[in-house]
Each structure stands twice: as structure tokens, then as C-alpha cells.
Amino acid sequence: MEILLKKGKEKKIKNFYLWVFKDEIENLEQLKNKPAQIVDVKSSSGEFLGRAFLNPKSHIVARMLTLEDEKINSDFFKRRIKDAIERRKKLKIKSNAVRLIHAEADFLPGLIVDKFGGYLVLQTRIAGIENFKHEIVSILTDIVKTSGIYERSDMESRKEEGLEITSGELYGHVPRYVEIEENGLKFLVDLHYGQKTGFYLDQRDNRKKVQGLINKGDKVLDLFCYSGAFSIYCASAGAMVIGIDSDRSATDLARENAKLNNVSNRVKFLTADAFETIEEMANSGEKFDLVIIDPPAMTKTKKGAESVKWAFYKLALNALKMLDPGAKLVISSCAYHISLDLLQEAIRFSANDLGKRLRVIDITFQPEDHPWILQMPETLYLKTIYLEVLK
């Protein structure tokens, strides 16, 4: 089985882009109703371009695995997995929780593996990688010293791939809660039911950076606080913090994490809608020295980007009402379709409407254990803007 690309569509594959879409395929009709499998990808003239996972059910019909004429088997995945893990060993991450495999950015499309202490959490997001799941688990247990592997393939996007949503133990026994360490702080992580794979590992560097902004006695508002990591970093630096999240299980866990770090007296967690609560606070005249806005990905599609821009506008508008000159605002977006320009535009509109001048202190992206590929823009998703109110 092979994919024939339309004329001119081979250029992006040669330039290391990894996805092939339906409208780029010449022989699409012949591929319809075929099961997920590995196929050769060729140009319109028949030139071999590489091998890919094929899934005609997905809007991304093919995901490149290699540009070489090599077998895609257990040995192939062992090499790729070993390379990804070896790269992480060279990183100077002050935590025993790290992302070991980051899908396309590690040339393993659809595969996510996170390490939390002695346990691994695995996600298979596409049908192609699902077909190799048992081999991958065997490879991981051979390469990584682990007491257990838990699957969190419970994302809605699997349905488009023709896959069921699933979770559970794949190897050993994995407790629901695991304690990790990060930059001298401790956190309980819910591996079974927590958001993402249990913890937002991609915000590790930003948490440390935000902690460095704190002066003792500062008042901090942490919106979409989840299990309290940003809040606890700030409280540990001497701030008084209010953390807000609509997920009761998350705020319950946040309180446990506050106890674990002996900061319960400096942080209060509220189970509430962040949009409604920040508006109520702003209208009541509350003031803060720092507001952190880190919502989940509010859109998975380009179509939803414009409405999400106005959601960020509203959040920033209410935050800025509570920030006097010298105060700071930190806003993150983990949605690929919310570009840095779009996020900045939303904040700029809110500042202009209030007559506030903002200085950009810094702009950061995802940490080095969540790498991205320059020729694959979709692998860059996390953007964070640090701002100071001047007027």
C-alpha cells in the first residue's frame, strides 16, 4: 500500500513536515476504508519520500515516521524511544517528573510518555501508534526502571481515529496518587483521573519564573489553578494567594498540596468559575500584585480561535482592573491555534479599553523536555506572556 501525493506536495515532506492531509493525496479514493497501517509515501512521479502511519478515518491521513527506506518494527521503536529518553538525561531539570516522549517532536507521532517518580503514564493518541502499544510498553519496561505504567488514552480526539477512550494499568501496579518533587517543592499527582497525564509538566519553568517575581506579602490571584502548583510556588515565596478552579477534585488536591508544602496559611483555594469570579472581584474593587491566568486549551480547532481570543480579552480586562502600576500579569495559552500574535492582541485590546500601558517583561514557550520542531509549527503550543502595568 502506498500514498501518492499530488504534484508539488512532496516539498513539505522533504522539508521535514510530518503530516499529510486528505487534499494532498492523489490516490485518496483507493485508500478509503483501509485499516490503519504503515505505508510508503511517494511523490506524484513515484519518488520514495518515506514511511508513514496511514489512517483514512482521520483528517490527518498520514503521519510520517521516517524519510528513510527502513523497516518499521519493534527495533525501530526501540531506537526512537531510547534516543528520546537519552536526550532527557542530559537536561538539567530539577524534578523527578519529566516528559520522556513528546510525540511528533520526538519523531514518534501520537505517543506521549511522562515519568512521575517511579511510574510512567502513557498516551496513544492515534491508531498507528495504538497498534504498537504492547511493543512500546515492553520497550519502556526494558529501558526505564519503573514500578508501573498507567495508560491515560482518554482524550476525545481518539474517536476521530476510530479508537475507544481507555485508561488503566498496562504494567505493574500504579497507585492513584504519586508524590513528586519539583524545584524543592512537593506535589501529589492524580495519575488516574487528573487533567492531562496528571500534572502540567510543561509549566515547570514558568512556575519557577513566577516564583521569582514575588515579594513577601504580595497578593496573588491564580486562575484555573488546577492542583495548586502556581499558587504554592507563590505562597512558598511569601505571597498571600487565592487559587480558583471549577474542578472540585482539583481544588481538594490543591489543599493537600498546600499542606504538603506547609503553606496552607498563605493560600486559599476556591471551587468556582474563573470567568465569573474574576469579574465579581474586579467589580468589587479587589487589588492584587500579580494575576496568573492559565486556562486549559479552550479550542482544538482554528475555527474556535476568534471566540477564544475574546475569552482572553475578558479575562485580561478584569485582571487589569485589579492591577495598579507596578503590578504584574502572567497569561498562558496551551492551544496551538491561539497564536502569540492573537494572545497579544487580546491583551492589547483589554489594556487599551482601560487606558493602561503594559510593558512586556518576557515571553516564554514550553520547556526543553517538551521540544518542538521548527518545520512543524503544530509542535509549538505553549505561549506565556509576562507583563508589568506601567499606568
Phi, psi of 379 (to 5 degrees): -80, -10
Annotated binding site for S-adenosyl-L-methionine: 224, 245, 294
285 is a domain residue: yes
371 is a domain residue: yes
Report pLDDT for 247. 96
Which residues contact residue 322 at a Cβ distance below 8 angstroms, ignoring those fewer than 6 apart? 221, 281, 282, 286, 287, 288, 291
Report pLDDT for 298. 82
- In angstroms, the CA 321 to CA 155 distance is 36
**Same domain (yes/no): 26, 137:** no
A 10 A CB-CB count for 253 gives 23
pLDDT along the chain (391 residues), means of 10: 94 96 93 91 96 94 96 97 97 97 97 98 96 97 97 93 96 98 98 96 98 98 98 98 97 98 98 97 97 90 87 97 98 94 97 97 98 95 97 81
**Same domain (yes/no): 48, 132:** no
**Same domain (yes/no): 258, 358:** yes
- In angstroms, the CA 166 to CA 349 distance is 42
Report pLDDT for 246. 97
Q: Which of 10, 40, 66 represents a domain boundary (last residue)?
A: 66
Report pLDDT for 304. 84
- In angstroms, the CA 291 to CA 71 distance is 51
**Same domain (yes/no): 136, 161:** yes
Concatenated DSSP letters of 122-171: EEE-SHHHHTTHHHHHHHHHHHS--SEEEEEE--GGGGGGT---EEEEEE
Domain of 19, in residue numbers = 2-66
Q: In this structure, are residues 227 and 267 in contact, taking their beta carbons and an 8 Å threshold?
A: no
**Same domain (yes/no): 212, 349:** yes
CATH code at 223? 3.40.50.150
**Same domain (yes/no): 135, 157:** yes
Report pLDDT for 301. 79
CATH code at 163? 3.30.750.80
274 is a domain residue: yes
Report pLDDT for 332. 97
- In angstroms, the CA 91 to CA 386 distance is 25
**Same domain (yes/no): 61, 82:** no
> Which residues are catalytic, by number?
334
**Same domain (yes/no): 51, 116:** no
Q: Which of 175, 192, 217 represents a domain boundary (last residue)?
A: 175
180 is a domain residue: no
Report pLDDT for 302. 79
Report pLDDT for 34. 87
Q: How many structural domains does the chain have?
A: 3
**Same domain (yes/no): 51, 80:** no
